[in-house]
Structure 1
Amino acid sequence: MADFHFQGTSALALDAKGRVTVPARHRESLVSLAGSQLTLTKHPEGCLMVFPRPVWEGFRAKVEALPMAASGWKRIFLGSAMDVEIDSGSRMLISPELRAAAGLVHDVLLIGMGNHLELWDAQRQASAEAAVLQQPMPDVLQDFSF
């Protein structure tokens, strides 16, 4: 698997059919890494995770290995997972169920998160970011150098 990292934020819009155009800066990596095959699933923070299929397969294996005590989370991640492809118009179709779960209506943000992307409703993400900034710096970042 090629070395890649998704980063940055793209402001996008869902069309009337629930499709979003994949930005060129991510499209080439997604096509070469996954042959345009993606998997979308719910994220606990209220957005969607967008995985290139090979990355999803690794994530899915970890989720499947979780103990019975985590069956609710397994259901959230695996039960809501949908396989999609980037179409000839460079768009991915977001199912009505996943759009509703993430509150996606029109204005969305596609955010690079290293080995996957997150798809957020723009207002929901702004609120989530504001809440994070109101909190003290977590201990795991105390020794992080800026």
Structure 2
Amino acid sequence: MASFRGGPVLKVDDKGRVTVPSKFCALLQAAVQGQVVVAKCPDGCLALYPLPVWEQFEADMRGWPMELEGWRRLYIGSATDLEIDGSSRLLLPPELRKWAGIEREVKFMGVGAYFELWDSTRYDEREAAMLAGERPQRLLQSVIR
């Protein structure tokens, strides 16, 4: 499956539905017929995985040590199967929208094998704080100049 990159800010309708960006939707429909899993992400957003990517992640989590049990519980306990509807929309569960602070606008952020759904204001604040901090040496060594 190709990588998810970038993404727009889109509106959430009154029923909690959001249209999946066309480039993301095309990848998901071609690869997994729109079958996805959404789960809480420790960064305060929602992570949306194509079903096979989620299944591999879940299998990997089974091998995590006991000190990571709370993190495994966060991911698996919040995971919800979703399907993209005929209008290229996802119905985001209200409890997950509330947890991530998603109300009227959602920022899609492709991060490779999956993508994140952020409240657009929360994302902007997190990004500004990250950019205001010092850049890790490891990042400076690995970024193409």
The residue aligned with 1:62 is 60
RMSD: 0.9
SS state of the match for residue 15, structure 2? coil
Q: Retained in 1: the 8 A contact 2:40–2:79?
A: yes
The residue aligned with 2:135 is 137
The residue aligned with 1:14 is 12
The residue aligned with 2:75 is 77
The residue aligned with 1:86 is 84
Unaligned runs of 5+ in 2: none
Amino acid in the other structure paired with 2:17: R
SS state of the match for residue 15, structure 1? coil
Which whole-Å CA distance do the structure 1 matches of 2:73 and 2:21 have between them? 30
Count of aligned pairs between the two proteins: 144
Which whole-Å CA distance do the structure 2 matches of 1:55 and 1:72 have between them? 21
Deviation of 1:54 after TM superposition, in Å, equals 0.7
**What do residues 23-82 of structure 1 show as CA deviations (whole Å, max 9, x unaligned)?**
111111001111100000011110000101011111111112212111100110000000
**What do residues 82-138 of structure 1 show as CA deviations (whole Å, max 9, x unaligned)?**
000000111011101110110000111111101100000000000000010011111
Deviating runs (4+, > 3 A) in structure 1? none
SS state of the match for residue 106, structure 2? strand
TM-score for both structures, normalised by structure 1: 0.95
Deviation of 1:139 after TM superposition, in Å, equals 2.2
TM-score for both structures, normalised by structure 2: 0.96
